[in-house]
Amino acid sequence: MQHAATDHSNDPYIDDYYHQASLAKRSTGSRNKNNFCPSHLKELPSRSRNSADQHSHLHFDALGKMPLPSIRRPHPLLEVDPPGSGDGNSEQMSERPLEQEPMLAARITIEDSLSLLLDVDDIDRFLQCNQPQDGGAQLRRRRQNLLEGLAASLQLVDPLGQTGKTAGLASKDDIVFLRLASLPKGRKLICKFRQLLYPGSELARVVCMAIFRHLSGMDLHALSACLVAIVCSSEQPPFWPLGSPAGDGATVILKCLLERASKLLHGPQASSNCGMPNFALWQASFDEFFDLLMKYCLIKYDTILQSVYAKTPPSAEGIDSEVRAATKREMPVELLRACLPHTNERQMELLRHFGQQRNTITGLSAHPGNGGHINSESVRS
């Protein structure tokens, strides 16, 4: 009777989730692989798998009601009057209801979002073990809608907008994201959310930019270590421009890293943030990174020229337009622009020489009347 009263679904994935997950983990790589997926997907919004409506033993109070804990409306521990309520002459203190407290709202958002990500996990596992008639197109659309809905609830701002040009951000634009990131469970939510996004998608770019806009936990020493890791890596990251269909994840991260370092070095508290050892480490790591980036740009530009000359008729005007289009499509101008606040005289001279010799690079081109040098204002704008 107890078993029948708890409304089991006869689906081991739901009724015995953690045991099935353990079996699937142990069977990885073996012949008898355990299919860890739901037998069907729920149409209604799901709850946490260890929620009270799935427990085997439920307790009822004297009135026959089933008390369930609620993060939205927790039961008060004591019924007390607010200070001053008994004094008729004292001013009434206005207190905000608990459900309107920002951090409680953040915790509610985290719980709802984690439940939504469980639905996304269910869809992924269902598609791994089953082959729908439409090839899974409908479920993938549903998956994308869930992730886009989560991004909307986090109020993530796309600084590039629809035009691909950087737009200014107000201090309160990322307030929801920052409140979630201030909580340990919120940071786990953001990491899980990022892992479920398709690499190279627009949504992945927006989430990555939100994460790396707020590198508040990283000082100049940590940022230097990031550049050192890139320089010492056996595989060079692809420095594609922002919005490139080939993927711009590395450029987004590096651009945010350079902007964070610029804020630390030139902000109002620059003297306290950057001691001499940290500054020396940053300058050395940036110098190595800049040389790597310039080497990439030189090789990329030579490749563009060879490709254009091989397929374009010998017309100066036609070659120039093709080179301009190709450099705009393949040259990481935004990354070079983010490097400008950190460059020394030698590096600026290298950029000027680069612009003089290759005067068709978009955003770094030499303009008539300036002696073939880089137009720094066009780069900074």
Tens-digit pLDDT profile for residues 282-308: 999 999 999 999 999 999 888 888 888
- CA dihedral (23, 24, 28, 30) positive or negative: positive
Residue 367 has a pLDDT of 38
Which of 125, 122, 116 is closest to 145 using CA atoms? 116
The mean of the pLDDT values for the chain is 75
The SS3 assignment for 366 reads strand
Q: Residue 79 and residue 71: Cα distance in Å, rounded? A: 19
Contact 83, 93 (CB under 8 A): yes
What is the value of pTM for the model shown?
0.52
Q: Is the per-residue pLDDT at 57 higher than 70?
A: no
pLDDT band of 77, cuts 50, 70, 90: low
Q: What percent of the chain has pLDDT over 90?
A: 17
Contacts of residue 315, defined as CB under 8 A and 6 or more positions apart, other chains included, come to none
Residue 16 has a pLDDT of 83
Q: Is the per-residue pLDDT at 105 higher than 60?
A: yes
Neighbours of 57 (CB within 10 A): 6
The residue with tokens 């634009």 is: 173
Q: Residue 255 and residue 129: Cα distance in Å, rounded? A: 40
Residue 339 has a pLDDT of 95
The alpha carbon of 370 is separated from its chain's Cα centroid by a whole number of angstroms, namely 41
Q: Residue 332 and residue 213: Cα distance in Å, rounded? A: 19
What pLDDT digit, counting tens, does each position of 233-243 carry? Answer: 887 888 988 88
Domain ranges in the chain?
101-214
Length of the chain equals: 381
